[in-house]
Amino acid sequence: MEDNKTYYQGQVLWAQLDPNRHLRHSAYADFCAQARSNMLKESGLSLEEFAKSGIGPILFREELIYHREIGLDEKITVKVELTKLNTSNFRFSFRHEIYKENGVKAATVIVDGAWLNLKERKLTSIPKDWESHIDRIPKALDYQSESTPK
């Protein structure tokens, strides 16, 4: 397994299977969303903090790459790392890696998103005091940071 940090561990439930008796595609997204939420909370950006600031993360794209099949009762681990961040408009990309209990990588999930002002329903940058929280998020070895002039 990679050295990036684990943010979710769990067992595959019967309700998460598809007709072929393996993990359904939407369950991968659910596991990754929970891992991202856990990671953000651990970095100091809980759902309560988002609500207090009137900001929420939104996704524009989600890409799922299957490596190995995951079946019923398997225990999985989800690791998350930041791969891209634009420091002007705080668009972001995260890479999630889902591992089987035996350490074999089962899937890679890449998401691209941004921060949304929940009242205005427009993209926004995050408050300055959140930057220290963003600094605590694990960065990928291929992490790219860019700053776009306003």
Check which CATH number belongs to the domain holding 94 and give it: 3.10.129.10
Whether 36 is in a domain gets the answer yes
Q: Are 51 and 87 in contact (CB under 8 A)?
A: no
Give the count of domains, the chain.
1
How far apart CA 79 and CA 42 sit, in angstroms, is: 13
Q: Are 96 and 35 in contact (CB under 8 A)?
A: yes
Please tell me whether the overall predicted TM-score, pTM, comes out greater than 0.85 for this model: yes
Whether 1 is in a domain gets the answer no
- Among all chains, which residue has been given the structure tokens 């791969």? 83
Whether 149 is in a domain gets the answer no
Give the mean model confidence (pLDDT) for residues 66-89.
94
Task: List, for residues 32-46, the tens digit of each pLDDT value.
Answer: 999 999 999 999 999
Task: List, for residues 8-35, the tens digit of each pLDDT value.
Answer: 999 999 999 999 999 999 999 999 999 9
Report pLDDT for 2.
44
Expressed as residue numbers, the domain containing 105 is: 6-144
Q: Are 101 and 75 in contact (CB under 8 A)?
A: yes
Share of the chain above pLDDT 70, in %: 95
Whether 20 is in a domain gets the answer yes
